[in-house]
Copies of this chain bind each other. A is one copy, B any other.
Amino acid sequence: MQARVYVTLKRGVLDPQGKAVALSLSSMGFEEVEDVRLGKFIEVKLADGSSPEKAKERLTEMCQRLLANTVIEDYRIEIVGA
Contacts and interface: CB of A to CB of B under 8 A. Distances in A.
B58 A32 contact: yes
Contacts of A7: 41
Q: How large is the interface on A (under 10, 10 to 19, 20 to 34, 35 or more residues)?
A: 20 to 34
A8 B38 contact: no
Copies in the complex: 2
A36 B42 contact: yes
B58 A34 contact: no
8 contacts: A6-B41, A30-B62, A32-B50, A32-B58, A33-B44, A33-B46, A38-B41, A38-B43
A35 interface: yes
Interface in A1-50: 6-8, 21, 24-25, 28, 30-47, 49-50
A39 B40 contact: yes
